[in-house]
Chain A
């Protein structure tokens, strides 16, 4: 089955630790995205990547880092510099980043809930 997988489903972190959230897709999509979801705030874009070895900051990139070494993988690291990391993190992908006159649907993974202890 084609889709997006995120692991782990639940993650607990002590203050001052870095943690990495995994996102893998087998849809052969070029573009991938990371969002953060907080209650009552919708989704906010952290980072996105159009192709391998390229990624761009979204609206709330401070305290986060990403890599895109393979087309199917887009891991997110939540660093100790992120002051309020407790949230639900969602990964998404689309065929590409969008061409003039066309917008591709973003497909979402099941999410990772991160809690800072």
Chain B
């Protein structure tokens, strides 16, 4: 079964610094991968998704992620953090190639220091 591991439950960055959130997956089939963001007491918003097209995926709010099959990774980055990036981020993978059920990572909380 597919699963996701997010390395680091909390990440703290300075405003203007690089944001790097790590996600590794296990999959026996070509995966579809997603990054979602959640602000306090709100639902999840899609940042970006990988669906076997380009390996470098650009999303909203300046985020991007690179799919690396050899490393089974899908790390999320943003070159310059803003205060508004403070939130919780979830990586998710489809469980099988023919359905939409997702397996979510445990989440990474990002705090941004002024």
Residues of A within 8 A of B (CB): 4, 6, 31, 40-45, 48, 58, 88, 90, 92, 94, 96-111, 113
| Nearest CB on A from B4, distance (A) | 8
Size bracket of the B interface: 20 to 34
The distance in angstroms between the C-alpha atoms of A111 and B40, with both chains bound, is 11
Given contacts A41-B106, A98-B100, A103-B97, 5 further A-B contacts (CB under 8 A): A43-B92, A45-B101, A45-B102, A90-B43, A90-B44
Given contacts A105-B49, A111-B41, contact A97 B90 (CB under 8 A): no
B104 sits at the interface (CB 8 A): yes
Chain B interface, >50% SS class = loop
Q: Which residues of B contact A44 (CB under 8 A)?
A: 104
Q: Which residues of A contact B55 (CB under 8 A)?
A: none
Q: Which residues of B contact A6 (CB under 8 A)?
A: 43
Give the residue name and chain of the B residue nearest to A99 (CB). B98
Q: Does the CB pair B99–A97 fall under 8 Å?
A: yes
Q: Which residues of A contact B99 (CB under 8 A)?
A: 97-98
Given contacts A43-B90, A106-B102, contact A111 B42 (CB under 8 A): yes
The distance in angstroms between the C-alpha atoms of A105 and B48, with both chains bound, is 10
A31: which of B34, B45, B100 is its contact (CB, 8 Å)?
A: B100
Give the residue name and chain of the A residue nearest to B93 (CB). A103
Q: Which of A6, A44, A105 has the most CB of B within 10 A?
A: A105
Q: Which residues of A contact B12 (CB under 8 A)?
A: none
